[in-house]
Amino acid sequence: MTIPRYFPGKAFLAAGLLETGLLLTALDPGGTTVDFNLLKGPAETGSNEVNLLKDGDFESEQIDFDQRGSSWRSGCWVWNRNLKDKAHRKRITDGMIRVLEKGSGVGGSRCALIHTPDELQKEQNKEGNPWMTSSIGQTVALPDSEQPVKYTLNFKVKGKTGKSPGLNSLRVFVNFHDGLPGDREAKKLRKEINQAISLTADYELRSVSFVAPPHTRRLGISFTLYGQGKIYLDDAALTKIPVSEKVNVFVSP
């Protein structure tokens, strides 16, 4: 669907996209193209495109989610402020599983697994909601650009989450800074993207497309399990979109 210059609802649709954090820069000359076919599954990443993520296939033996300097890192947090028992909090963060799983990836290869073990399934706050967040992510250094730059994050995922909609979910986060990795004085350039991802029992391709503001030197990409569940992730690829192509916007129901 292409939104022409004269379309009276263009401003309202653009405003809606801005609110959801999917499109936060000036519209392309000639209108913005939104491809809703992604609801049925996005196209595969072209073989000629450069993947800006390291070890996106999770095949490397060098990946260690807990080791400084590894391409992929991980973390776990307890966000229930009522839980004051530090030992209890530590049991939760230490109990969440983030590992490389052999034989469960696409085509039987390796993949990343984020999992709430059985002994943590009963962990809830006073309102009966889960209170842990478990994540893997990667930081990407970018060359300086005077212009906004479009990117697409493609990945294959399967799994399930707990029964509380929204409270248990897989989410992709993308943040933008003006300094390279390691620069503690780098400033955030725009509100981070927070995109819920739908899950099925079998691997399916998912895509999140976005525009990085001018002078973005660092992207933070993370796959986060909110609450409880079991997520398998494979074939993650971050690619730059040529300016001549349309912007694909994945909208979760």
Residue with more model confidence, 15 or 240:
240
CB 23 within 8 A of CB 249: yes
pLDDT at 40 over 60: no
Give the separation between CA 29 and CA 26, rounded to whole angstroms. 9
pLDDT of residue 185: 81
Contacts 24+ apart (CB under 8 A), 204-207: 204/41, 204/156, 204/157, 204/158, 205/41, 205/42, 205/44, 205/154, 205/155, 205/156, 206/42, 206/154, 206/155, 206/156, 206/157, 206/250, 207/38, 207/42, 207/152, 207/153, 207/154, 207/155, 207/248, 207/250
Alpha carbons within 13 A on the beta-carbon side of 16: 7
Q: Give the tens place of pLDDT for each residue, 190-246.
A: 889 999 999 999 999 999 999 999 999 999 999 999 989 999 999 999 999 976 545
* Mean per-residue pLDDT, 36-49: 45
Tell me the domains of the chain and their CATH numbers. Answer: 42-240 (2.60.120.260)
Query: Going by C-beta distance under 8 Å and a sequence separation of 6 or more, which residues neighbour residue 91?
Result: none
* Mean per-residue pLDDT, 28-41: 34
Residue with more model confidence, 140 or 8:
140
User: How far is C-alpha 90 from the chain's CA centre?
Assistant: 25
Give the separation between CA 65 and CA 72, rounded to whole angstroms. 6
Residue with more model confidence, 244 or 68:
68
Burial class of residue 201 in the structure, from the number of CB atoms within 10 Å of its CB (0-12 exposed, 13-18 middle, 19+ buried): exposed
Query: Going by C-beta distance under 8 Å and a sequence separation of 6 or more, which residues neighbour residue 115?
Result: 96, 97, 98, 229, 230, 231
CB 133 within 8 A of CB 76: yes
Q: Quickly tell me which residue has 């390796």 as its tokens.
A: 110
1-15, 132-146, 179-193: least confidently modelled range: 1-15
Band of pLDDT at residue 68, cut at 50, 70 and 90: confident
pLDDT of residue 88: 87
Query: Going by C-beta distance under 8 Å and a sequence separation of 6 or more, which residues neighbour residue 13?
Result: 3, 34
pLDDT of residue 5: 35
